[in-house]
């Protein structure tokens, strides 16, 4: 994969090989690998930029991670805290790097995706397989408070303690959005997940959801669109904004939030939401009055005696 020619042409631009030792340690799935490679400089620019053709041909991520290692790091960073990710990697005998190194790698790859997602998401959505059994496209959004490290001015106490880069921990909202394709019985078939930190997070997630909805409905106009939120006005506005201008079959609200709000003396009564599925069943999402859980039935047909209602399949009213 590493060209041996003194001069190469890439995209109509000439590059000349430098007489330098450009060997580099790459992260592979099984451990670090040192590779001898060529470094090329652009010919028509004095002290111009340099490239490594090997990186481009092999698909190296951030000039350091092999595709397999980058995929594993990204998956672990997405799914688990750093310590749990490190423990899982060690148990599988992969990614034999320190926990801090894995965490930094996850942040590097995540930052790279932040610059690529606008161009990559349309390609991924167009290429995904829509199951033939899909009957409903549901969208949901939520947010969670995460501790964020913000730089702060250096104080005399910091200097006395030897702190050079002080920071303050502040909690900010991170946003998530999910599109799920469900079958006629409401069972999930496949999902697309979006997430973003507080900086423009709500706007970014809403735009990504809206774009994915438009592409999926263009491919399958027969899909019924359903929105789901926790009942908070900002989350309802997010999913409504993502589905703006499109026919929405049902707007559903999570029962847990409704149950909490219904316990407030001034809260309005909780409204039952039922959607009739293509199979003829009806999906209930929360009860009219939490004080009457007997109206809910379990999947086995037994009365639900718990105080807090939860999503159940029940017969039409």
185-240 per-position pLDDT tens digit: 889 999 999 888 777 778 989 999 999 999 999 999 999 999 998 888 889 999 99
Asked if the structure places residue 228 within a domain, the reply is: no
- pLDDT confidence of residue 78: 83
Number of domains in the chain: 1
CA distance 230 to 259: 11
CA distance 265 to 27: 58
Asked if the structure places residue 27 within a domain, the reply is: yes
- pLDDT confidence of residue 111: 84
Give the DSSP per-residue string, the chain.
-----SEEEETTEEEEE-SS---EEEE-SSSEEEE----EEETTSTT--EE-HHHHHHT-BTTTB-HHHHHHHHHHHHHS-HHHHHHHHHHTT---S-HHHHHHHHHHHHHHHHHHHHHHHHHHHHHS---TT--EEEEEEEEEEEEEEEE----HHHHHHT-SS-EEEEEEEEEEEEEEEE-TTS-EEEEEEEEE-STTHHHHHHHHHHHHHHHHHHH-TTPEEEEEE-S-HHHHHHHHHHTTTS-EEEEEE-HHHHHHHHTSTTPPPPPP-EEE-TTS-EEE-S-S-TT-GGG-B-TTS-B---SS---EEE---
pLDDT tens for residues 153-166? 999 999 999 999 89
- pLDDT confidence of residue 263: 46
Kindly indicate the confidence band of residue 265, based on its pLDDT and cuts at 50, 70 and 90.
Answer: very low
Asked if the structure places residue 103 within a domain, the reply is: yes
Place of tokens 């303050």: 168
Residue 131 near residue 222 (C-beta atoms within 8 A): no
- pLDDT confidence of residue 221: 95
Report the chain's C-alpha Rg in angstroms.
26
Asked if the structure places residue 61 within a domain, the reply is: yes
CB atoms under 10 Å from CB of 265, counted, come to 4
Answer with the residue of higher pLDDT: 303 or 157.
157
- pLDDT confidence of residue 279: 54
CA distance 295 to 288: 9
Asked if the structure places residue 263 within a domain, the reply is: no
- pLDDT confidence of residue 273: 45
Domain that holds residue 92: 1-123
Asked if the structure places residue 222 within a domain, the reply is: no
Phi-psi region at 152: left, alpha or beta (left = phi > 0; alpha = psi -120 to 50) = beta
Residue 200 near residue 114 (C-beta atoms within 8 A): no
Asked if the structure places residue 173 within a domain, the reply is: no
Mean pLDDT value across residues 162-187: 91
- pLDDT confidence of residue 296: 37
Asked if the structure places residue 170 within a domain, the reply is: no
């Amino acid at each position: 994969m590493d060209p041996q020619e003194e001069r190469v042409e890439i995209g109509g631009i000439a590059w000349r090989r430098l007489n330098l030792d450009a060997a580099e340690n790459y992260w592979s799935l099984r451990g670090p690998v040192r590779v001898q490679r060529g470094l090329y400089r652009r010919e028509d620019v004095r002290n111009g930029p340099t490239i490594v053709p090997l990186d481009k041909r092999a698909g190296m991520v951030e000039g350091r991670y092999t595709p397999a290692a980058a995929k594993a790091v990204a998956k672990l960073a997405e799914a688990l805290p750093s310590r749990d990710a490190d423990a899982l990697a060690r148990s599988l005998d992969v990614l034999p790097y320190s926990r801090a190194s894995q965490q930094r790698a996850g942040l590097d790859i995540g930052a790279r995706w932040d610059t690529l997602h606008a161009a990559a998401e349309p390609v991924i959505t167009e290429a995904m397989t829509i199951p033939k059994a899909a009957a409903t496209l549901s969208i949901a959004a939520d947010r969670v408070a995460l501790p964020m490290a913000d730089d702060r001015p250096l104080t005399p106490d910091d200097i006395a303690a030897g702190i050079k880069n002080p920071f303050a921990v502040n909690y900010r909202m991170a946003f998530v959005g999910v599109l799920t394709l469900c079958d006629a019985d409401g069972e999930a078939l496949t999902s697309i997940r979006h997430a973003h930190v507080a900086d423009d997070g709500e706007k970014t997630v809403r735009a990504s959801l809206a774009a994915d909805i438009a592409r999926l409905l263009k491919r399958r106009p027969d899909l019924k669109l359903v929105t789901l939120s926790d009942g908070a006005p900002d989350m309802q506005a997010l999913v409504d904004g993502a589905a703006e201008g499109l026919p929405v079959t049902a707007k559903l609200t999570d029962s847990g939030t409704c149950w909490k709000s219904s316990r407030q003396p001034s809260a309005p009564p909780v409204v039952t939401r039922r959607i009739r599925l293509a199979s003829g069943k009806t999906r209930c999402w929360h009860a009219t009055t939490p004080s009457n859980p007997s109206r809910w039935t379990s999947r086995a047909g037994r009365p639900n005696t718990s105080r807090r209602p939860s999503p159940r399949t029940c017969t039409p009213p």
